[in-house]
Amino acid sequence: MSLTKEIQKRRTFAIIAHPDAGKTTLTEKLLLFGGAIQTAGAVKSNKIDVATKSDWMEIEKQRGISVATSVMGFEYKGVKINLLDTPGHQDFAEDTYRTLTAVDSVIMVIDCVKGVEIQTEKLMEVCRMRNTPVICFINKLDREGRDPYELLDEVEEKLNIQVRPLSWPIGMGKSFKGVYNLFDKKLNLFTPSQRKLSDDRNIINNLEDGQLDGLIGQNAANQLREDVELIEGVYPEFDPKDYLEGKIAPVFFGSAVNNFGVNEMLDTFINIAPAPKSRNAEEREVKPDEPKFSGFVFKIHANMDPNHRNRIAFLRICSGKFERNKPYNHVRGPKPLRFSNVTQFMAQDREIVDEAFPGDIIGLYDTGNLKIGDTLTEGESLTFKGIPSFSPEIFKEVINKDAMKTKQLEKGLKQLMEEGVAQYFTYEMGNRKVVGTVGQLQFEVIQFRLKHEYNASVEFAPMNLYKACWISSKDKKQLDEFVRSKNRHIAKDKDDKLVFMAESRAWLQMVQDNYPEIEFHFTSEF
């Protein structure tokens, strides 16, 4: 198959949401429809003993939340789907932001009871920065939720994007009977089934068909006819071009846990979602159909297999064809790298692949050469944009509880920080180690993983810090003088970049005023 055909058959997207909106459950059902699994797990259910495919880390099973992005690939109706399930919890937002650099489109899950929540708004802002096409899936229609029209208005208002319903619910909560697909003009009625797909599906092609009244009742049938007429009259006709440019968000309704509405969305998604797109490097725009390979690392994960201390770099292919065992230029590194162990994922399950194409996410077994943001190419020096580290909001000093395990602790911290779990700073004076995070939960994850994966015990002592600012200056002499005079407040990050550790907003402002020749940066990418 030609490179162009391989590109056209691929769809790479992320599922994003506020915590507990049903994002991981939706992921399970997409895998179920794609035939990738036979039985869906449940994130928080005592009745179902099958663990979800995408929440596979021990701490995720215990907490019932996603703390790391999972990558899953499967085929559906001749389309190769690369699906990334992201953490919803705001404490792990940075992992989600990085993941959004590696996808071509997004499915945003919204709880029909709670509507648009804070984390949903933040994630949407990241999508808007890149004009990423967004599909909304309004979930949990099996519960008594808010009026569908009210939810559509809220999405438009809070997320600042036009919407166009492409499916419509029949009832809600106990009276919920199914969804009408406005895109295909078909009505599918499902039998509720949490774990397996139901073959018992009624498909009605004409809303005026009298059979509809018999299936869902006259009142519900008349209400659906009125709703569809109103939607077609109020909302403009759906234009896929506007969706691809990020100007309009198609909206689907359903209940992921009961398999309602997921199929309609997936069928429409493979028709309208973008194939792999061009990517901006600092040097130029890189088109997917260029013959020479290029790709960038957006995530690193250590110890996916507890029996083998492996480290896997997740690479998004941007152009050309990747081939196993072929040497590639490591743009930041001193020598080309060759990978004999190249995998594609079904969560933590992996299979070796010999080749991969633009849009694919592959896992490269790595001994420590690669880091987040690195580029691999077939010769050219390229640097893909948009994978910064943000200044953390909570800072704690690392206290080693077992001096005999110092080496294990240092190795564990180094690997976890390279994954992007948190940020790591070492003070120039006194060699104090500080971890910076967006939220409190990250410290629990680090502590848990250090103990269970590296056999290292730590405590975290709170520090009174406001911001970590990366510093630079066009005048090296001035920068050296600043570092000397503020030595007590200077640290280095894991990449040895200089960082000024500010104790308060007012003090930072004063220092900035006193040293105008020093530039203070709130992200590491400057």
Given a contact cutoff of 8 angstroms between Cβ atoms, the answer to whether 315 and 295 are in contact is yes
Residue 38 tokens, joined: 């036979």
295 C-beta neighbours (distance < 10 Å), count: 28
Question: Is 359 part of any known ligand binding site?
Answer: no
Residue 96 burial (CB count, 10 A): 23
Q: Is 49 annotated as a binding residue?
A: no
86 is in an annotated binding site: yes
489 annotated among ligand-binding-site residues:
no
First to last CA, the chain: 41
- Does residue 153 have a known ligand-binding role? no
311-335 core/surface letters (b: 16 or more CB in 10 A; e: else)? bbbbbbbbbbbbebeeebbbbeeee
CA gap 205, 517 in Å, rounded: 69
Helix extents (H) in 67-210 = 93-100, 118-129, 148-159
Residue located via tokens 């400057």: 526
Token digits for 20? 């507990």
Q: Determine whether the annotation assigns residue 142 to a binding site.
A: yes
Do 168 and 253 meet the contact criterion of CB atoms below 8 Å apart?
Answer: yes
- Kindly list the distances between the CA atom of residue 512 and the CA atoms of 139, 333, 488, in Å, as whole numbers in the listed order: 47, 34, 17
Tell me if 89 is assigned to a ligand binding site.
Answer: yes
The reply, when asked if residue 141 is annotated as ligand binding, is yes
Give the span between the Cα atoms of 429 and 88, in whole angstroms: 37
DSSP for 238-275, written as a single string? P-HHHHHTTSEEEEEE-BGGGTBSHHHHHHHHHHHSPP
Using H for helix, E for strand and C for coil, what is the string for 197-236? Answer: CCCCCEEECCCCCCHHHHHHCHHHHHHHHHHHHHHHHHCC
Q: Annotated binding residue at 369? A: no
- Binding-site members for GTP are 85-89, 139-142
- Binding-site members are 85-89, 139-142
